[in-house]
Amino acid sequence: MMTTLTIARPDDWHLHLRDGAMMRAVLPWTARDFARAIIMPNLVPPVVTGAQAAAYRDRILAALPDGMTFEPLMTLYLTEDTDADDVAAAHTSGLVKAVKLYPAGATTNSASGVTNFDAVRPVLERMAEIGLPLCVHGEVTDHDIDIFDREAVFIDRILDPIRRATPGLRVVMEHITTSDAVDYARAQDDTLGATITTHHMVINRNHILAGGIKPHYYCLPVAKREEHRLALRAAATSGEARFFLGTDSAPHTDANKFLPCGCAGCFTAPNTLPILAQVFEDEGALDRLEGFTSKHGPAFYGLPVNTQTLTLTKTAPDLPGHIDTDDGPVTVFDPGFDLTWSVS
CB 15 within 8 A of CB 249: yes
Confidence (pLDDT) at 103: 86
pLDDT of residue 110: 67
CB 16 within 8 A of CB 251: yes
Q: How distant, in Å, are the alpha carbons of 56, 148, 204, 291 from that of 233? A: 34, 19, 12, 14
Residue pLDDT, tens place only, 91-119: 999 999 999 999 887 676 666 788 888 89
Is residue 258 within 8 Å of 214, Cβ to Cβ? no
The residues facing 250 across adjacent strands are: none
Rounded to whole angstroms, how far apart are CA atoms 285 and 280?
5
Strand-pair category, 96-101 with 330-331: unpaired
Catalytic residues: 248
pLDDT for position 109: 61
Beta strands in the chain (DSSP E): 4-8, 11-15, 36-39, 71-77, 96-101, 134-136, 171-173, 192-196, 243-245, 309-313, 322-323, 330-331, 342-343
What pLDDT does 113 receive?
82
Q: How distant, in Å, are the alpha carbons of 11, 95, 277 from that of 108?
A: 23, 24, 29
Segments in the chain below pLDDT 70: 106, 108-111
Q: Is 238 left (phi over 0), alpha (psi -120 to 50) or beta?
A: alpha
Task: Indicate the residue type of 338.
Answer: D
pLDDT of residue 104: 80
Q: From CA 127, how far away is CA 9, in angstroms rounded? A: 29
